[in-house]
Structure 1
């Protein structure tokens, strides 16, 4: 199996396209390759059993559907699938040709992780064609390994490498979400900005749902390849695909854990906010309960009606204040007795 980089590097800019060709190469069977242009690629034929052709195409190129149907002898429905922008991950065989639709993490600047990029793959055991609309990092990484002489040696290995790296790079988005959740959980009560944290948690939950939307069918596609593989996939290739499927299953479990952790943290924040509000409302209720009878008495003594007691007495005010103080003390005693305070 290939060694997957521990961190995602930014994808380099694509060179000017040669027709629909972003890059093309012929595998030499020893981990290296020689690049080919579009004209050479269209008429390429293997010079030996070890040679294989890989073309990485821009699927928005005009007339590419006609080339797929005429040169590769594909049906109109298959050609349409390979050029579609809105595709669900899947895999199926037509004879010895394997058609696979994958989704990879979008590492383009300003992109969200859940905005996964589709890549379609067609392979007949001698030619492998990848098609994409937006820049993808995985094909560039593998092409760089081939140029350095450290790439896949066969068409089956190339197909396996593509699957492995597309899946492996998903871990970066999942780890990033888990790091955000751990950081929020480690914050003290004084450091927490509840509104900002709730917004971040909502984003994480949306990301989990969006990633799972494509990762679940991608796992099913890998299982289908294992059940009905073409003859050009070796036992080692199938073993690697099985391991890739297991890794994807673990990522799906991690997504569920991330979603549940975010939900638990959200519930904790909501419960703390509700408890704080309840405590505030409780204290306001106690204050209102204390001053309600006092306010009633002072309001009653303040009415402008003849015959009010103490109007002509110089001691009536202080007697009233003392009575109110005694009443307040009595209320405090009753509230403490009832364990309200």
Structure 2
């Protein structure tokens, strides 16, 4: 399965009551009664040409809305706000750490969002609007989008915690290659997501401290709650990193313990056979004068003597609690 197709431009008209304005009623609506939302695919030439013809979007904003790579940020002027946010990529066949970049240009009556891939957070807002339970203002739109992004990241880290729990439960029977492949994948995912969540938290702090006229106190309170959630998520990333390190150390300790146990057994066996090897080597010399050459039961005597030595050594090791 592949990611959903992202059309060049999607334009929606919000009725400021949580729903959408029907196409037949758009012409009859007065100025200020609707909120226009344009969602564009910044990789499409059609979207680029359309944005170039939008007089209110200056060159700096166009560059950020169309740039291939952006870090989370927040920028505000008197008439508009500009934001770059990141969300986990939960599209089928994609890696979650390959985070989706969502850019926003926002005024009191217009929202322009840009993205190059399907975003489930954007889809949640569209679905809420279709059901009449969507955002009513630009500030509420920002608040809802940040909330959905935080929820998706939180769900992803819950899956990481479940995977870590499974690895801790199956640590004993897991092979070396399998363990390191899984643990390295988890650490890489956590490090990549932290790379974007840290500046995103800073951007949300700037948004919370902003004095934008179209962001209400209620919207700021919701953004503050989401900011706390992102802060907790960053702490969860550190916890995940520590858990993977502890899990790796525990696995290495288990391997070292197994190796030491095997080496210890070999050392006990070597200690038992060392005097026996000496005796057999000495009596195996092909020189004249060896005792017992003319004695018929000499081999039996030597064998019994070797057995007595082995048993005595085993008893001595047991007495010393060496095994």
Tell me the TM-score normalized by structure 1.
0.86
**Aligned match of 1:5:** none
Q: CA deviation at 1:173?
A: 0.8
Task: Report whether the alignment pairs 1:274 with 2:256.
Answer: yes
RMSD: 2.5
Task: Specify the alignment match of 1:313 in structure 2.
Answer: 295
- 1:308, 1:279 → 2: CA distance? 41
The 1:149/1:98 distance shift into structure 2, 3 A limit, reads: same
Following the alignment from structure 2 to structure 1, what is the Cα–Cα distance between the partners of residues 144 and 2?
17
- Alignment equivalent of 1:329, drawn from 292, 300, 311: 311
TM-aligned CA deviation for residue 64 of structure 1: 4.3
Aligned to 1:169, the other structure's residue is in SS state helix
Alignment pair present for 1:85 and 2:68: yes
Distance 1:46 1:102, change over 3 A: farther
Alignment of 1:195-234 (within 5 A): 195-234=177-216
Any unmatched runs of 5+ in structure 1? 1-9
Please identify, of 213-222 and 180-189, the stretch whose mean Cα deviation from structure 2 is larger: 180-189
Instruction: State whether residues 56 and 130 of structure 1, in contact with CA within 8 Å, keep that contact through their aligned partners in structure 2.
Output: yes
Matched, 1:184 2:167: yes
Whether the 8 Å CA contact 1:24–1:35 is kept in 2: the answer is: no
- After TM superposition, which residue ranges in structure 1, 4 or more long, deviate above 6 angstroms? none
Task: Kindly indicate whether residue 128 of structure 2 is the aligned counterpart of residue 145 of structure 1.
Answer: yes
CA gap of 1:299–1:64, structure 2 versus 1, over 3 A, is same
CA offsets 1:92-137 (integer angstroms, 9 cap, x no match): 1133211111111111111121111111111122110110111111
Q: CA deviation at 1:49?
A: 2.1
Report how far residue 159 of structure 1 moved: 2.0
Of residues 11, 15, 24, the one that matches 1:24 is: 11
More deviation, 120-129/294-303 = 294-303
Residue aligning to 1:98: 81
Q: In the alignment, does 2:161 pair up with 1:174?
A: no
For the 8 Å contact 1:102–1:119, the answer to whether it is kept is yes
CA contact (8 A) 2:40 2:113 kept: yes
**Counterpart in the other structure of 1:6:** none
What is the distance in 1 between the residues matched to 2:203 and 2:222? 14
Asked if the contact 2:3/2:117 (under 8 Å) is kept, the reply is no
Q: CA deviation at 1:221?
A: 0.6
Distance 1:64 1:130 in 2: 11
TM-score, structure 2 normalization: 0.91
Aligned pair partner of 2:226 in 224, 244, 257 = 244
Identify the match of residue 296 of structure 1 among 278, 298, 318: 278
The CA distance in 1 between the partners of 2:298 and 2:4, in whole Å, is 91
- Separation in structure 2 between the aligned mates of residue 78 and residue 214 of structure 1, nearest angstrom: 20
Task: Identify unmatched segments of 5+ residues in structure 2.
Answer: none
